[in-house]
Structure 1
């Protein structure tokens, strides 16, 4: 039997994914990180971007937000503020959210509000990138 990883993805709302996978690629703060079974233990921060789950010849693409990944030899746990499969992303809705966030940046905002709007922009950019890449 081939070695696999147990992948668990958790958001504040729910456990989004739990299953055995052959590989996962995640957007680390220092670049893309590919994780195979027997990976060296690691805890790392992830940034908004594309997460790819590989099972056999199948790939699942997800947009993820900020968070953390804990990697052991046989398990990857991702805790993030957003995880959405590419097929579930409503491009028009996300584009509208991006426009609203950009308009808010033109207003006089507190530092905290600026940070929240910039986080929204990063999440919408990740969703749009993943959705548009899957349309090709």
Structure 2
């Protein structure tokens, strides 16, 4: 049996994932972080992107889209708290593409700096979802 760490991923609505992992890669604000069992304790903020979980004793990796949030690493457990967390297989590519297009249009037709900032945030979230879908495709092939 491989050396593992417990990971729990929770969104505002529900628990998305709970299980044992050999390693986890998370989209931290300052860049991706890799976490293996016995990692030093830490807390960091997350940006929109893909959380990659290498399941214990399995070849597959589990991808979860997170819209940002908090990552906490403690001895023996990793906790991810996110406003929105969606299993990559449940992401809707057409919906993400439509959101991207709408955000790009809103950026072109801005009425104020607030509108532009909101459109930028929506564009970043849509792009992160599309990237998660593309990563899932690569894993399947």
Q: Which TM-score tier does this pair reach, normalised by the shorter chain?
A: 0.7 to 0.9
SS in 1 for 2:109: coil
User: 1:110 & 1:21 partners in 2: Cα distance?
Assistant: 45
Summarize the alignment of residues 25-104 of structure 1 with structure 2, pairs less than 5 Å apart.
25-55=25-55, 56=57, 57-104=59-106
Structure 1: runs of 5 or more not aligned = none
Inter-CA distance 116–81: structure 2 relative to 1 (3 Å threshold): farther
SS in 1 for 2:40: coil
Would the aligned equivalents of 1:11 and 1:83 in 2 still touch at CA under 8 Å? yes
Say how many residue pairs are matched: 136
Paired residue for 1:121?
Answer: 123
User: 1:38 & 1:102 partners in 2: Cα distance?
Assistant: 43
The alignment's C-alpha RMSD in Å is 1.8
Q: Which of 127, 132, 135 is matched with 1:133 structurally?
A: 135
User: 1:110 & 1:135 partners in 2: Cα distance?
Assistant: 38
User: 2:131 & 2:110 partners in 1: Cα distance?
Assistant: 29
TM-score by length of structure 2 reads: 0.85
TM-score by length of structure 1 reads: 0.88
